[in-house]
Amino acid sequence: MATDLSNIRNIGICAHIDAGKTTVTERILFYTGKNYKLGEVHEGTATMDFLQEEQERGITIQSAATTCPWTYNGRDYKINLIDTPGHVDFTIEVERSLRVLDGAVAVFDGKEGVEAQSETVWRQADRYKVPRMCFINKMDKLGANFEYSFGTIKKRLGANPIAMQLPWGEGDELQGIIDLLGMKAYHFDPDSQGAVVTEMEIPEDLQEKAMEWRHQLIEDAAALDDDLMEQYLEDEDSVTVEQIKKAIRKGTISRACNPVFCGSALKNIGVQRLIDAVIEFLPNPEEVPEVQGTDPRDKTVELKRPHNDDAPFSGLVFKVVSDTHGDLTYVRVYSGKLVKGTRTLNPGNNKREIASRIFEMNAKDRVALDEVGAGNIVAVVGIKNSMTGDTLCDPDNPIILERMEFPEPVISMSIEPKTADDKRKLSEALVTIRREDPSFRSEYNEETGQTIIAGMGELHLEIIKNKLIRDMKIGVDVGRPRVSYREAIRGAANGCRGLFKKQSGGRGQFGDCTVNIEPFTAEQAEEAGLDFTDNIAFENAIVGGAIPKEFIPSVEAGVRSTAKSGVSAGFPLINVKITLTDGKYHDVDSSQVAFEQAGRLALIEAVNKAGSVLLEPIMKVVVTTPEDYLGNVTGDLSSRRGMIVDTEDKGMIKEITAEVPLSEMFGYTTDLRGMSQGRAANAMEFLAYREMPANLQKEVIEAGA
């Protein structure tokens, strides 16, 4: 067990779908000795893609964690590695992994460079301030171009890439890599699956090119360190390899630069050098800022925890996986030690949790541990009441670490059990899936008797449906996927009254409140210091006790529950601020229930007065197509109410970026294949909610009535 934190690296492999993340991970496992056989994604034998769905589709659906050893310069290191999905429907897996990682390796396709989902992942890493290095993979692919791909990192991501290597040949002629620091060429022997690496002089025809890139490398490194810049300007030749490494390590950790490496994971070229670079340039747990949180007893008090074993224990739950032997709860330990059998506290719900067993994970295999120190990622058995984003901490020194933000679902469908036994099993299964996947929602509709499940896209819901039927053996019928629309208001409305009065012998019910309503944004809520849960802000502006304090929360509860179920069309109301301005109460007849109903009635009147509008989810769609089909693709996108934002040349390929309503995109991938003879591809992610055309609003409202 490595206790020296400088010997630990917590890293993630992330990228656009099909850039080769899982193949890179499989090679890392092979070369670090975790696997004795190379797993292949296309054969369904990848260690990290161990779900049946992942093996059949050849994609990663859930992030998998593993721990592997690596010896570099005579020192033994421990790498905690997370392989994340590339498909946008599973972006939550990337989100929660990045939250607990200290560094990441962004993988790019050597022919395509930066693609649509690469940008999304990069922005997520920016949000969590994760240092990154880049690996331009698939340099063996026909049409691979290192300089083009390197340029897209700078142009599309606004990053500061620094080339550390060049490919030795490209496409079919890829033989190895050229190290610009040591100015040596490395050949990876194909007969030994790349395990035998031979160092040699750079071929003559590549020496001039290598010198140009090395000059640029030294210049970029010098720009990161004032002393080095001074030395570089005086005498470039005096700058040593160690000085360059030190400057680039410092720049990587401070996110001022991104070192770039290259190779081909499939052809076993460049992966060992990439692992060396992870040790060399990405931070250990002590080199990232102390973890921050708040005191659960007083949310205004900010607390910090140092990354060492002597501090009070704190950890973040970033994943829950249901398992036949008990739920596995993945925890990143930030400070202190977690000992087997220890009682910990979840300060969010004030529940005590026992870590009955602790495991170091290797994808689905596990190694039992007695204790674990700061800076490690482990799976714990025995945690019952904690979900993704929850904090676990020392009961005597509570702290709540910053939570993760989870996106709202944009698509839903009905699901009905076939038998009474299936009905019982379904409700339990949905609770399990909700614990595992925070981007999934489910609710039972009392009026229709249907269960509605909601997620991030068609593929997301299809995989959940398959999980219920195939893995959990539950008989269900599913409806067609439906778009999750939202309601908003056109303008403001003041003095909207909700009066609830009931008298039927004995004690009556009386609640009377007046509210103002106005359009509102998350930014405005933050400025005003208001809670913006479910995109609704509520402000109490009552003076003089027109409504007693104990009834104010009831008015808010009535307003929020009505907004959630929708006012005009049955879709959640968002982006509004409701201000409680006045009201009346009765000494005997007023109650919490009465004021809840009054709040409901006031909101209905306010929305009717302000005028409601239906919003639909708009998707950012990126299509890559051969030029021959450009007209077909753009014409089809326009017919789907799409707006073409950008068209870019990528050699013989055109890349089209468009904004299209989700309701028009069902089955698009199949249609696109048909119109391009299978040669075009697309990626799609949620962009924003926007107002629908009036005629279509009417159709949706009538269909839901």
In tens, the pLDDT along 400-434 reads 988 776 767 778 788 888 888 888 888 888 888 88
Q: Round to whole Å and give the CA distance between 575 and 536.
A: 6
Q: Round to whole Å and give the CA distance between 98 and 12.
A: 7
Which long-range CB contacts under 8 A does 689-692 form with residues at least 24 apart? 689/486, 689/488, 689/574, 689/615, 689/616, 689/617, 689/618, 690/615, 690/616, 690/618, 691/488, 691/613, 691/614, 691/615, 691/616, 692/485, 692/613, 692/614, 692/615, 692/616, 692/661
% of the chain at pLDDT higher than 90: 41
| CATH number 3.30.70.870 is the correct assignment for the domain at 411-484 | yes
Q: Locate 313 and state its tokens.
A: 């224990």
Q: Residue 670: in which H helix or E strand, if any?
A: helix 668-675
Q: Round to whole Å and give the CA distance between 281 and 132.
A: 9
**pLDDT at res. 37:** 45
pLDDT confidence of 364, banded at 50, 70, 90? low
Q: Locate 700 and state its tokens.
A: 């949706």
* Cβ neighbours of residue 343 closer than 8 Å, sequence gap 6 or more: 352, 353, 354, 395
DSSP result, 635-656 = HHHHHTT-EEEEEEEETTEEEE
pLDDT confidence of 38, banded at 50, 70, 90? very low
Q: Which neighbouring-strand residues pair with 624?
A: 655, 681
At 185, is the secondary structure helix, strand, or coil? strand
Residue 532 pLDDT > 70:
yes
Domain ranges of the chain: 5-287, 291-401, 411-484, 487-610, 614-704
* Cβ neighbours of residue 246 closer than 8 Å, sequence gap 6 or more: 225
The highest-level CATH class for domain 487-610 is alpha beta
**pLDDT at res. 84:** 66
Nearest to 30 by CA among 46, 12, 52: 46
Torsion-angle region of 406 (φ positive above 0: left; ψ -120 to 50: alpha; else: beta) = beta
Q: Locate 58 and state its tokens.
A: 């050849």
For the purposes of burial, counting CB atoms within 10 Å of the CB of 460, is it exposed (0-12), middle (13-18) or buried (19 or more)?
Answer: buried
Q: Locate 611 and state its tokens.
A: 């005028």
Residue 330 pLDDT > 90:
no
Mean pLDDT of 44-56: 39
Residue 455 pLDDT > 60:
yes
**pLDDT at res. 236:** 83
Which stretches within 438-581 are classed as H helix? 458-466, 522-528, 552-565
Residue 139 pLDDT > 90:
yes
Looking only at the bridges linking them, the beta strands covering 258-262 and 493-502 are unpaired
| CATH number 3.30.360.10 is the correct assignment for the domain at 614-704 | no
Identical fold for domains 411-484 and 614-704, yes or no, is: yes
Determine which of 56-60, 143-147, 299-303 has the lowest per-residue pLDDT on average.
56-60
Check: CB of residue 620 under 8 Å from CB of residue 538.
no
Q: Residue 260: in which H helix or E strand, if any?
A: strand 258-262
pLDDT confidence of 522, banded at 50, 70, 90? confident
**pLDDT at res. 273:** 92
Q: Locate 148 and state its tokens.
A: 């083009």
Residue 588 pLDDT > 90:
no
Determine which of 204-208, 528-532, 641-645 has the lowest per-residue pLDDT on average.
528-532
Check: CB of residue 65 under 8 Å from CB of residue 80.
yes
pLDDT confidence of 556, banded at 50, 70, 90? very high
149-198 pLDDT, tens per residue? 999 999 888 899 999 999 998 888 899 999 999 999 999 988 888 888 89
481-504 pLDDT, tens per residue? 788 889 999 999 999 999 999 876
Fold of 291-401: Elongation Factor Tu (Ef-tu); domain 3 (2.40.30)
Residue 120 pLDDT > 90:
no
**pLDDT at res. 18:** 72
Residue 204 pLDDT > 50:
yes
Q: Round to whole Å and give the CA distance between 621 and 685.
A: 7
Q: Locate 473 and state its tokens.
A: 């053996």
Dmax (CA) for the chain in angstroms is 101
Mean pLDDT of 6-35: 79
Mean pLDDT of 61-65: 50
Q: Which of 12-21, 129-138, 235-244 has the highest mean pLDDT?
A: 129-138
**pLDDT at res. 464:** 85
**pLDDT at res. 187:** 92
**pLDDT at res. 52:** 47
Looking only at the bridges linking them, the beta strands covering 536-540 and 391-393 are unpaired
Mean pLDDT of 300-314: 89
CATH of domain 5-287: 3.40.50.300
**pLDDT at res. 56:** 43
Q: Round to whole Å and give the CA distance between 642 and 636.
A: 9
Q: Which neighbouring-strand residues pair with 552?
A: none
Mean pLDDT of 86-101: 64
Q: Locate 203 and state its tokens.
A: 């071929």
Looking only at the bridges linking them, the beta strands covering 258-262 and 161-163 are parallel
